[in-house]
Amino acid sequence: MRLLPVFILTIVLAASALAQQNLQVGQVAPDFSARTLDGQTVNLKDLQGKVVVLTFWSTRCAICHSEIPKLNQVVDRYKGKDVAFLALTMESDAKVNPYLRQNPFNYTIVPNGFGVVLKYANMTKDGGISMGFPSYFLINKQGSISLRAEGWDKSQNLDTQISRLLTE
């Protein structure tokens, strides 16, 4: 009977430590499967062998709005190359579609991405989610995180890092 409280305490401490872990460069990117805006299923593991750019964004994010044209230029530079561009948002199709009619975003759009956000966001000590928008994760051909960034004007750095990863 005395082992049960020790066991429960061990589980609680392990869960707490896990909740505080944050993804770091060099770690394997968490796998996910999600439905794209056009109804296709995308699985991260199926993209292994390509450079993958994950961008977490929101239609309500002013920085995201200003970054989209720059990110579209990066997408255009890598057409036909082994690079996949995925834009994940927690918002629904109904919210995203009207926004995209006014603001084309050349990434593969993944709405309703809350589950994926949970895998990639930093977690606070009390178990809350901490992720700035936009946030970027660059995943190398082997499936590991090569770059993690968030905030204003990251397109040039993304471009440079994508180019570097394609030559590795």
Mean pLDDT across 135-141: 97
> Has residue 64 been placed in a domain?
yes
Mean pLDDT across 84-109: 97
What are phi and psi for residue 100, nearest 5 degrees? -70, -25
Mean pLDDT across 60-83: 96
Mean pLDDT across 135-160: 93
- For the stretch 76-95, pLDDT in tens is 999 999 999 999 999 999 99
> Has residue 13 been placed in a domain?
no
Count how many domains the chain has. 1
Show the domain range for 71. Answer: 23-167
What is the domain-level CATH number for residue 95? 3.40.30.10
Q: Give the pTM.
A: 0.84
> Has residue 18 been placed in a domain?
no
Interatomic CA distance for residues 51 and 157, integer angstroms: 15
> Has residue 132 been placed in a domain?
yes
- For the stretch 113-126, pLDDT in tens is 999 999 999 888 88
